[in-house]
Amino acid sequence: MKKSDIKIIEDLSLNAWPSHQMQLYDGWILRFSYFYTHRTNCVEQFGISLLPLEEKVSYCEDIYRRWKTPCIFKITPLNEPALEPFLEERSYEKQNVTHVMCLAFSESSSETGSETSFTTIREGDMTIRNRIPDEWIDALFAIKGNATVTHLKIVPSMYAAIPKDVRCVYIRRNETIVATGLGILDRDYIGIYAINVKPKYRRQGMARRICETLLREGAKAGARRAYLQVLADNQPAIDLYESLGFSQEYTYWFRVKSTLS
């Protein structure tokens, strides 16, 4: 994938998942969300840098020390080449290797101009909405099971701050949401996010149904491409996405300095 195309995906992913706090610094963006995820609590490069690398990294370490969270850098093919070796020398560990996978829609799947003003559609046990309801966020917390009291307070506002049109999908069993998915529309892409299934209901095709629904809704809204991000060690998810037509385009990871001293 060309660097210009990688830049598009990286920009889309920044739009798709705002952090609780963000600040710009010499071509870098510092993101902070009380360590909810690596992606929302890291330094990302988005432009040209002019200041010396040592000065910049020290500045970021000080900011995250004040925020009382680990200092994390996202490493992509767009980073200045000297950054990662510099971080390695400062004992930053490599974590959360992630593949970015993309899919180009066929002409037959494109439905540009279709009506997209709906609020709620129900298809059996599946619900599709063009906003993110509180019950979806509550279900996501319950399925993942790793939220803190602080996350319960701030994460709903992060979802509310998404500046793009969304397609929110969920499946119920016995009146309980057991599977979730989120599509975020931007330019001619739909980003596939938050594919989660309660352990008891895995291997029943729910994740596939949700992904297929999001892709269909994206095509209806005029999307011509889709992208998603998946951990490199999550082979079952990779197998699913490949069976849907996604292919790996590039890989990113994080460099983490866990000490706050």
Domains with residue ranges and CATH for the chain: 3-99+253-257 (no CATH), 106-223 (3.40.630.30)
- The per-residue pLDDT for range 167-215, each reduced to its tens digit, is 999 999 999 999 999 999 999 999 999 999 999 999 999 999 999 999 9
- The per-residue pLDDT for range 22-74, each reduced to its tens digit, is 999 999 999 999 988 999 999 999 988 999 999 999 999 999 999 999 999 99
Determine if residue 169 is left, alpha or beta; phi over 0 gives left, psi from -120 to 50 gives alpha, anything else beta.
beta
Pair 126, 167: CB distance under 8 Å: no
- Three-class secondary structure of residue 40 per DSSP: coil
Helix H or strand E encompassing 31: strand 28-32
Q: Where are the beta strands (DSSP E) in the chain?
A: 21-25, 28-32, 43-45, 71-75, 93-104, 120-123, 126-129, 166-173, 176-186, 189-197, 225-231, 247-257
